[in-house]
A and B are shown apart, each in its own frame.
Chain A
Amino acid sequence: MKSRLKLTLLATASALISTNAIAETLFWSSQATPIEETQAMREQVLSGFDGGVSFQPADPGPWLTRIQAELGAGSGSIGVLGALHGDFTPLAGNLADLSGIDASAVSPGFMELGLLGTGEQKYIPWMQATYVMAAHTNALEYLPDGADLMALSYDELIAWAANMHEATGEPRFGFPAGPQGLKHRFFQGYLLPAYTGSMVTEFRSDAAEEAWTAFLELWEHTNPASTNYSFMQEQLISGDAWLVFDHTARLADAFNQQPDDFVAFPAPAGPAGRGFMPVLAGMAVPETAQDKDAAMDLISYMLAPETQIATLRATNFFPVIDVDFPDDMPPSVQAAGAAIAAMSGADDALPALLPVGLGDLGGQFNQVYNDSFERIVLARQPVRAVLDDQADALRRILDEAGAPCWAPDAPSDGPCPVN
């Protein structure tokens, strides 16, 4: 009797192990890295997939290092790659063609980005997000006269922050300038485009100097602890900041925990327009994937409307297809959704894409904007000199990558010029 039990156990165990070994597709993602999101992805999004999937997120650096190592070795265990648009560009040559997947529900503009400038469908859009402004309702009474919350200008934003500073005695504007904060996206996609209409070519123009000077003015009313801030939802909830800028996914907790206390609204506009940066994440299959069919099945599964809504709940990234939102969506989705619609639908909307074609120089590209911030704002170096100096670094990176201009800069032959 005993030995029969042992045998049964052994057989069950080996069956479990063998099915696991065959069926699990490794989903290697640079997104949904916070542990709560990872867990939600596993339990609420991917648990419904029949094929079996192991979802493993990593920070962008290690993410790229591992896939590069697998590609270099010519074999690997990664089945599906999940990452931002810009993360895929250095890998374009090593991604399988995904034209076979039915992605007709995704907007053609997004699908075209997934071509990565080649003739093949290198990645399938997965989810999207952007950055918005958020404020505590306490802050609303200090709005400057005549200002429309849904259509602010940078001057009005500065005046608003100044009013609050004066009235409460504390600088109440919060800015994600910590090591993990997304400050570079603010300069690339919001501040500079709003003043110069450009992210790259007009980097050291007079208009750019004006933009940085305006930011210096705003910084006077910014909580100095901002250099330690990463996710602005924490400062909104703690009350350290009443008025903030951040990624929708990094503001969600505030809206979900205290839905009645916070409002979301579009980014301000500058002389050149309302610069803003849509963020697109996609899924790809590396050439080294062992079971490409299983990987493509997983991607199809991720595009189903109910999976897209589950993904939205898990990560606060919005669907890439048209879906009918159920009524019980979290407050963060409703708040951000309205702000995003007002921002992208504004008359002066000026979308600025995430950098394209920079390959593994993306980090250095961001560093140029971060260095400019640290030198101009924190170290108080003269704006003109810093911009001239950083423009050289920017030029070198674009030349080295051979990256042509992307929106909002006008298309260029050859590397995007820095005037």
Chain B
Amino acid sequence: MPRALPYLLLLPASLFLLVFFFYPFGLVVVESLTRGGEWTTENFTRMTGHWKFAPAFWNTIWLTAIVVPVQLIMALTMASVVQKLKTGRSGLLYIFAIPLGISDLAAGLIWLAIFEQSGFLNSIFHAFGIIDRPTLYLGYQNMWVIFLAVVLAEIWRATAIMMVIIVAGMGLIPKEYSEAAEVFGASRWQRFTRVTLPLLRPSLQTALILRILMAFEVFAVVMALGGTTLPVLMGETFQWQFQLQDRGVAAAYAMVILGLSVAFSLVVLRLLHVPKGARI
């Protein structure tokens, strides 16, 4: 009985995953590769043939490429600050983590309230006499402003989740390593890069993978700020499924997002490879 116990304990979760993840996932794969009951790659040809595919693809990649590194640096800084604090640590942690409790759509709407034609930014500029009349920032002529607004909203919204993981990881690193390095005359920066960062690898791995997956799924924030003006992969998936009622092409988009997520997760795993013996 004791030998079977671990498996029995794993059973409910495994069943749940099988029924609610792997089974639907299989259905999506089939959906993307069939049309009218026949196996075909037409869904993918239609997807890539549509003029919005390329912009959606590159917008998603660029968003990820800009947002994730900035968030990584910010999260590391925030975690280090929190770590150093003697008092008020949990208070600061709590404040940093506030955006985590806000849904992404709400986050998008908050930033929309700032950038809108009648939003806070226009009001402030007007109050200081910088502009005569409200200007339109989120228009189709200024795609880069929409892009920038999405970047800001994403950073504001999702940096905390990386920070929480990194704070937990830093807490696991024994103080002795850092103290030993200090004895040998290592500067603060050297201790951070040579001791803390390498020992943080497992946490960084988790944080990066989680964040990259979320970045490829960016949707509500973009919808709130740019509507369909700034196409992203997830937005197109939604569009094909619900507006265009073409589940095949929507499934093909879902496969592209999945492919990107898997590829980038593998890259992160490889780059931050932690040898088995060195794992904490």
Chain A residues packing against B (C-beta within 8 Å): 59, 61-62, 64, 178-179, 224-225, 227-228, 238, 240, 360-364, 366-367, 371, 375, 378
B22 within 8 A of A: no
Asked if B107 CB lies within 8 Å of chain A CBs, one says: no
- Complex Cα–Cα for A228 and B51 (A): 21
| B142 (CB) vs chain A CBs: closest residue | A224
- What are 24 A-B residue pairs whose CB atoms fall within 8 Å in the complex? A59-B242, A61-B241, A61-B243, A64-B245, A178-B227, A224-B136, A224-B139, A224-B140, A225-B117, A225-B139, A227-B140, A228-B138, A228-B139, A228-B227, A362-B245, A363-B243, A363-B244, A364-B244, A364-B245, A366-B243, A371-B51, A375-B51, A378-B140, A378-B229
Cα A224 to Cα B117 in complex, Å, equals 11
Is B246 engaged at the interface, CB distance under 8 Å to the other chain? Answer: yes
Task: Flag B140-171 by CB within 8 Å of A: 1 or 0 each.
Answer: 11000000000000000000000000000000
Report the separation of the CA atoms of residues A64 and B247 in the bound assembly, to the nearest whole angstrom.
13
For chain B, residues 213 to 255, give those with C-beta under 8 angstroms from any C-beta of chain A: 223, 227-229, 241-246
Q: Which chain A residues border B229 with CB–CB below 8 Å?
A: 227, 378
Q: Which residues of B contact A375 (CB under 8 A)?
A: 51
B52 neighbours in A (Cβ, 8 Å): 371
Contact yes or no, B242 A61, CB < 8 A: yes
* Interface bits B254-265 vs A (CB < 8 Å: 1, else 0): 000000000000
Nearest residue (CB) in A for B228 is: A179
**How would you classify the secondary structure of chain B's contact residues: helix, strand, loop or mixed?**
loop
A375 to B138, CA, bound (A): 19
A104 CB to closest chain B CB (Å) equals 35
Interface string of B112-123 (1 = CB under 8 A from A): 000001100000
Q: Is A360 a contact partner of B245 (Cβ separation < 8 A)?
A: yes
Q: How far is the CA of A314 from the CA of B227 in the complex (A)?
A: 28
Across the interface, which residues of A come within 8 angstroms of B117, CB to CB?
225, 240
**Residues of B with C-beta under 8 A to A363:** 242-246
A-B contacts besides A224-B140, A225-B139, A362-B245, 18 pairs, CB < 8 Å: A59-B242, A61-B245, A179-B227, A224-B139, A227-B139, A228-B138, A228-B139, A240-B117, A360-B245, A363-B242, A363-B244, A364-B245, A367-B243, A367-B244, A371-B51, A371-B52, A375-B51, A378-B229
CA distance A360 to B250 in the complex (A): 14
Partner of B245 from the list A179, A238, A240, A361 (CB cut-off 8 Å) is: A361
Least CB distance from A158 to B in Å reads 21
Q: How many angstroms between the C-alpha atoms of A278 and B243 in the bound complex?
A: 22
Give the residue name and chain of the B residue nearest to A392 (CB).
B49
Chain B residue at minimal CB-CB distance from A177: B140
A263 to B245, CA, bound (A): 38
Inside 8 A of B140's CB, which chain A residues have their CB?
Answer: 224, 227, 378
Measured CB to CB, the closest approach of chain A to B55, in angstroms, equals 10
C-beta contact mask, B192-215 vs A, less than 8 Å → 1, else 0?
000000000000000000000000
A229 to B: closest C-beta gap in Å: 10
Q: List chain A residues, Cβ under 8 A from B227.
A: 178-179, 227-228
B112 → chain A, closest Cβ, in Å? 10
Measured in the bound complex, the distance between the Cα atoms of B50 and A375 in whole Å is: 12
Residue of A nearest to B229 (CB): A227
Smallest CB–CB gap between A380 and chain B, Å? 11
Residue of B nearest to A178 (CB): B227
- Give min CB distance, A224 to chain B, whole Å: 5
Q: Which residues of A are found within 8 Å of B241, using beta-carbon distances?
A: 61
Give A371 to B243 CA distance when docked, in angstroms: 13
A227 / chain B contacts, CB cutoff of 8 Å: 139-140, 227, 229
Give Cα A363–Cα B249 distance, bound, in whole angstroms.
13
Interface residues of B in 116-139 (CB under 8 A from A): 117-118, 136, 138-139
In the bound complex, what is the Cα–Cα distance between A361 and B138 (angstroms)? Answer: 31
Report the Cα distance A238→B141, complex, angstroms: 22
Q: What's the nearest-Cβ distance from chain A to residue B109, in Å?
A: 13
In the bound complex, residues from chain B placing their C-beta under 8 Å from that of A228 are 138-139, 227
- B-chain residues with CB within 8 Å of residue A178 when the two chains form the complex: 227
B136: A residues at CB distance < 8 A: 224-225
CA distance A361 to B223 in the complex (A): 23
Complex Cα spacing A360 to B241, Å: 11
Bound-state CA distance A64–B244 (Å) is 12
Shortest C-beta distance, A250 to chain B (Å), equals: 17
In the bound assembly, the distance between CA atoms of A144 and B228 in angstroms comes to 35
Which residues on A sit within 8 Å (CB–CB) of B244? 363-364, 367
Chain B residues within 8 Å of A240, by CB? 117
Q: Which of A62, A228, A364 has the most CB of B within 10 A?
A: A228
A398–chain B nearest beta-carbon distance, Å: 15
Question: How far apart are A179's CB and chain B's nearest CB, in angstroms?
Answer: 4
Chain B residues within an 8 Å CB radius of A378: 140, 229
**B51 proximity list for chain A (CB < 8 A):** 371, 375
A221 nearest CB across to chain B (Å)? 15
Task: Give chain A nearest CB distance to B93 CB in angstroms.
Answer: 37
Q: Does A364 lie within 8 Å of B246, measured CB to CB? A: yes
Residue with the greatest number of chain A CB neighbours at <10 A, chosen from B118, B138, B141, B244 = B244
* B246: min CB distance to chain A, Å: 6
Closest chain A residue to B49, Cβ basis: A393
Q: Which residues of B contact A366 (CB under 8 A)?
A: 243
The docked-state distance in angstroms from the alpha carbon of A59 to that of B238 is 13
Highest count of chain A CB atoms <10 Å: which of B118, B139, B141, B241: B139
Minimum CB–CB distance for B240 against chain A, Å: 9
Shortest Cβ distance from residue B111 to the other chain A in the assembled complex, whole angstroms:
14
Q: Which residues of B contact A224 (CB under 8 A)?
A: 136, 139-141
Query: Closest CB of chain A to B146's CB: distance in Å?
Result: 10
Question: In the complex, what residues of B have CB within 8 A of residue A238's CB?
Answer: 118
CB of B203, distance to nearest CB on chain A (Å): 39
